[in-house]
Each structure stands twice: as structure tokens, then as C-alpha cells.
Amino acid sequence: MLFPTVTFTIFFMIVLPVSWFLMPRRRRWKIFMLAASYFFYGYWNWRFCFLIAASTIANQLFAKAIHRADTDRRKRLLLTGAVVANLGVLAYFKYFDFFVTNATNTLDKLGLHVSPEIVAVTLPVGISFFTFQALSYVIDTYRGTFEPGRLLDFAVFLSFFPHVVAGPIVRPAEFMPQLKERHDPRHLDSSRAFFLIVIGLFKKVVIANLLATQIVDAVFASPNQHSSLEVLVAVVAYAVQIYCDFSGYTDMAIGIALLLGFRFPQNFDSPYTSTSIQDFWRRWHMTLSRWLRDYLYVPLGGNRSGKWRTYRNLMLTMVIGGLWHGAAWTFVVWGAIHGAFLCIEHWRRARRETRGLPDPPDTRARRIGARLITFTIVCFAWIFFRSESFANAEQMLERLFDPAYWLDPAPLVTVGVLLAIAAGILEQYVPRETWGRLMARFSNLAPVAQGLMLGASLLVINTMGPRGVAPFIYFRF
């Protein structure tokens, strides 16, 4: 079920009033919200409701057992079992065919010809997201930073429909205490919620969908049929498309959760204004970045064990982060590119500190240059992320850097495409204070005026957006 559809609108118009009606009756509210979330998740394929239910029960049992364990050794064994079980399920659904295909190809090169039966495994929507949330629940229990709650509370946390299919990756300490708070609809920040939902709709329906249908999909499908200029614009357009698609979903998820009385962590902070790759990962998919840092990079040793192990840890973290997005070597290369540049940036900082050199002056010209370099690296990596195969990525790069095709016609580079790209990038340069003032002014309007503005905004979005709404990119992760 997609947010910007009539089906979801009907679903939410039923869920919202019933949710607030049952809110004073906490247990009934939790049962209702659990049922609504399972209906939302199972709308695409009801069979996968059993998967998320099994994950809920198994991880609750692991967390309770770890919390009751009286020795560190027993806790470690239980944690290992939980991690293996979660990653095993994830590996089966997401990576089984990938591993079998690559193993078969490797054996063929060694002269050992095998023909294993390939099982067409359907990927459950959002499995990477709820698996990571379940792991954080168990790991935080093991670390003693969070005490496991009741099964019903954990079930609501894991399946809560605003975040279950594409995040943000909410940690138990960020959500489960809110289940105990007294939520009052009179103190609801509905103005901010509707503002975020409309902004998210505009990003997704107008900018992301327009760029996908007008240039990105066509160019990446057959790069050799397009000019070098079209390939260049398509690469930049995809950078804007994936940002507007995913941040638009996150804006809507945060707004929908707010209308239900719950707060989600921020997931994007103007990533294309970054001045380094490290800065980019502090601003892009922030809940995943923090998850990888706290549950992978730091346990590997972080930057505490010498420079070479630091480089190793950075590369492993980013490669695994790339593989998290999908079972393809193109995702691994995407992660490796980011890992390599993180290592280079770390090496440069360490070298400067060793020589006792001061930080470079923070001038406007230097910031502009750093932003352009960072954006170029990010766009280069997006080529592999978006490409269906290495052959596809190679075609994109060949056409991009071949001077023979730079003078070819570029009919896909239209004014609408360029305006959409500009809007998606310039939006990130609007100061946070300006967005805050706009939200405050909207909140101070009379309800009738707010309703008229929202109605007009939805009319504009419906008029400007292409017919139909494509699934969110991160639904397949």
C-alpha cells in the first residue's frame, strides 16, 4: 500500500479517528494498531505477515532470555543466536539466489559444472528495515541500554505501519517509551504533520516521478541510444530522484506518525550540501548511518586500533551497507566507493594532524569547491547503485566520457527536467530556520485557511505529477 494513493487515504481516514478514540484504552489501542499495521503490511502479500510475526516472537524470546541470563557467556551465546537467526532469514529472502548464482559461476570457472535448482524467492517488502530494528532491540538489551518490554509493545514497535516498509530505522528507545506517554489530540502538532506530508508528496509525486519517467529510466535502460549530455543529466537527475523519493517518503512517514501522536527521528539533513563524504553520511539516511556506526563500525573496533584497522573497518562497514541495499555486486561497488573516499578523507586528516598543520580556512570558495567535489563523487557512485549490471554501468560511463557523443541531440534534456533537478537541489540550500518559520506561519493560520492551502497544494501536485504513482525506491530494500 503506497502513501500517495486513494487506497491509503481511505485506510488512514479509518485508522486515525479510531486510533484517537481508543488511545485512552491503551491495550485496546495497541491491539487495534497492531491489526491495522498488519493489514497495511499484508496488503501487498498477506503471507508475509507470518514472517514479521515470527520475527517479533523470536526476537522477544531472545531479548527476554538475554535479560534474564545470569552470566556473560550465556548472554553472548543468546546474542549470537539472535544475530544468526535474523541475518539467516534476511540472507535467505534477499541473498539466496545471489549466493547460489555466484557460487555456480565460480565453480564453472574452475571446471566444476553444477546445475543447482534456483528457487525464485519473493523479497518481502521492508525486510531489511524491520530486521535491523529487531536486531537493535536484542543488541540494546544485551548491552544493558534498554530493558525489553511486553510482547504486545514490541509487536507494535516492529510493525508500526508508518515506518515498517521503508523506515526511518527507529530504535526501541526512540519509540517504545512513547507507548507509555499520555497522548492528547488537543496538543497534536497537526499543522507540522500536514506540512511535512504535503512537502513529501511534492517531492515524490512531482519531482521524483517526473525525473524517473522523463529521463532517468529511459537513459539507464539503454545508455547507448542517448547523447553524452543526456547521460550526464540523467545521472544528476537520478541523484535528485532518489533523494526526493526517499526523503519524500520519510517526510510523509514522520507526518503520518505525528498525526497518530508519535515522533520519529530525522532521516535527512540536506545531504547534497555536504562538504565531504563523511559529512554526506551524517546527512543521508541518518538512521541507517547511525545504525551501521553503532552496531557494526564501533564493534569492529572503530578508529581505536590503528590506522590500517580503521581503514578496514570503514571499508567493511560501507561494503556491508552497500550489500544491505540489495543482492548485487553493483551495490557492493557503490559501498566500496564511499568506503574508499572515507578512508582517503581519514588519511588526509591524520596526515595533517601528524604534521601539525591547521585546518584549511573555511572560506566560501573552499565550501563551494568541496560541495562540488563531494556531489560529483556521490553522483559517480549513484551510477553503480542505479545500474542493473556492471555492463549497464560501463555503458553509462563510456557514453558519458566519449567526446564523440557530446554534440548529439539531447531531446530528453527539457526545461521541465532541468527545473525539477534545480528544485530538488536548491530546496536543500533553504536554511532550516526558513522552513521553521514557514511551518510556524502555517500553524498560525485559521483552520479554514490551512484547509484551503492544503487543498490547493494537493490540486497542484495532482496536476503537475505524472499519471499513477511509482513504488518508492527503498521499498525493494
**Catalytically annotated residues:** 325
Give Cα separations from 368 to 207, 244, 281, 284 (angstroms).
Answer: 25, 22, 18, 19
Kindly state the DSSP code that residue 202 receives in the 8-state scheme: I
Concatenated DSSP letters of 83-96: HHHHHHHHHHHHHH
Report the alpha-carbon distance of residue 185 to residue 23 in Å, rounded.
10
Q: How many helices (H) and strands (E) does the chain have?
A: 21, 0
Three-class DSSP category at 169: coil
Closest to 201 in 3D by CA, of 13, 15, 2: 2
315 CB-near residues (< 8 Å, 6+ apart): 336, 339, 340, 343
In angstroms, the CA 450 to CA 434 distance is 19
Other C-beta atoms lying within 10 Å of the C-beta of residue 293: 14
Task: Answer whether 320's CB lies under 8 Å from 288's CB.
Answer: no
Rounded Cα distance, 323 and 319, in Å: 6
Helical pair 127-143 and 72-109, crossing angle rounded to 10 deg: 150
